[in-house]
Structure 1
Amino acid sequence: MANSKSAKKRIEVNERNRLRNRFYKSSVRTKIKVFFKNLESYKISQNPKEKEELQKILSSVYSLIDKGTKKNIFHKNAAARKKAKLAAYLKSA
Structure 2
Amino acid sequence: MANTPQSKKRARQNERRYAVNKARRSRIRTFLRKVEEAISSGDKEAAAAALRDAQPELMRGVTKGVLHKNTAARKMSRLSSRVKAISA
* Stretches of 4+ aligned residues off by more than 3 angstroms: none
Q: Identity of paired residues, percent?
A: 30
State yes or no: 1:90 paired with 2:83: yes
Unaligned residue ranges in structure 2 (runs of 5+): none
Aligned-pair CA distance for 1:21: 1.7
SS state at 1:3 partner: coil
* Partner residue, 2:23: 23
1:73 and 2:66 matched: yes
Structure with greater helix share of residues: 1
Q: Please identify, of 61-70 and 18-27, the stretch whose mean Cα deviation from structure 2 is larger.
A: 18-27
Deviations 1:26-63 (A, max 9, x none): 2222222221112222x2xx5xxx60x33332122111
TM-score, normalised via structure 2 length: 0.83
For 1:64, the equivalent position in structure 2 comes to: 57
TM-score, normalised to structure 1, is: 0.79
Report the count of equivalent residues.
86
- What value does the CA root-mean-square deviation take over the aligned residues? 1.6
Quote the Cα distance in structure 2 between the aligned partners of 1:13 and 1:30: 26
